[in-house]
Amino acid sequence: MATHNTHRAAGRAVTPIVSANRAARGVAGTAALGTVLVGSAIAGTAAQAAPASTTAPAAPVAAEAAPATPVASVALSSTEKLRFGSRGDAVRDLQEALNDNGASLSVDGVFGPKTLSAVKSYQGSAGLAVDGVVGPNTRGALNGGVSTSGASASSSSSSSSSSSIVDRARSAKGTPYSWGGSSLSGMDCSGLVKYAYEGTGISLPRTSSGLAAGGTRISQSEAQPGDIVVWPGHAAIYAGNNTIIDASGSKQKVVERQIWGNPTFRSYR
C-alpha cells in the first residue's frame, strides 16, 4: 500500500478555499454597503442642493379703497358771503369748487340762476340748510373742513341763522313804539332790527337810511327770513312768505304783517 505524503512540496503556495456562498455574501454585502453609502451621499447632496421653489407667492391684493367725498381742488379762501347777484373772483372759485363736485357751470364770476341752482343742489346733497347762500358752513363743506352728518353749527353761525333772527324779532311783538329805542321797553323800526340781530356778531347801521345804504341789495325772490326790508325812512325784518316784522309808527307797537308797496331788500349775512 502506498503511503500518502501529507507534506506539500516546498515553495508551493497554499490556496485558501473560501465558500462560494460566503464570498457571494461578502461581495453582495460590500456592494450593498457601497450602494447605501454612495446612495446616501448622493441623496444628502441632492437634499442639500435642492433649489427653492421658483414659484413666487401671490402678491397680496390690496383692498379697494372707498371713494373719498369730493373736495374742491380750489380752496374757497374768501370769507365773503356769496349769494345770487354776487360777482368777482370769489364767485369764480365757488363755481370751480361746485364743478369739482359734479356741477357743470361756466366759470364767469357771476352768481346767476345756474350757480344758485348748483349751490342749492350741493347743500341738499351735503346735508346743509338749502338757502342758496354760501356762508361759513357751505364754504367749509366745499373745502372739506366741515362734517355734514350730524354736525352742529358754531354758536355764532347758529345765532345768525334765519330762524334765530326772526324768532328774536317775533319775541318783541307788542313792544311799544318809541323813537330811538331798541329794547323791549320801547323801540323804533331800526331799533327792532338792531334788537333782532343782537348776538349774531353782525354789525349793522343804527338808522333806517344807514340800513338801506349798507349790506348787499337783493331781490325779493332771493330774500331769506332774517334779511332786512327797507322803505324810505323805515326798516323791518323779513319773516318769509311776503311778511315782515316791524316797529310800526302808525300802530305804535311791533307787529307782524304783509309787505306793502315796493320796498328794497338788503342782506347783511
Domains of the chain, each with CATH number or no CATH: 89-151 (1.10.101.10), 159-267 (3.90.1720.10)
pLDDT at residue 202 tops 60: yes
User: CA 19 to CA 135: how far, in whole Å?
Assistant: 116
Q: What is the reported pLDDT for 218?
A: 95
pLDDT at residue 192 tops 70: yes
Percent of the chain exceeding pLDDT 90 equals 48
Q: What residue type is assigned to position 193 of the chain?
A: V
Read off the pLDDT band of 195 (50, 70, 90).
very high
Q: What is the reported pLDDT for 162?
A: 83
Residue-wise burial string across 192-218, b where 16 or more C-beta atoms lie within 10 A, e elsewhere = bbbbbbeebeeebbebbeebbeebbeb
Global confidence as pTM:
0.47
Helices (H) and strands (E) in the chain, counts: 8, 8
**Out of 47-56, 185-194, 208-217, least confident range:** 47-56
pLDDT at residue 53 tops 70: no
- 177 vs 30, higher pLDDT: 177
pLDDT at residue 107 tops 90: yes
Q: What is the reported pLDDT for 66?
A: 45
Which span out of 68-77, 121-130, 167-176 was modeled with the highest average pLDDT? Answer: 167-176
pLDDT at residue 44 tops 60: no
- CB count within 10 Å of CB 83 equals 23
pLDDT at residue 23 tops 80: no
Round to the nearest angstrom and report the end-to-end CA distance of the chain: 157
pLDDT at residue 173 tops 80: yes
The residue count for the chain: 269
pLDDT at residue 34 tops 70: no
Q: What is the reported pLDDT for 57?
A: 52
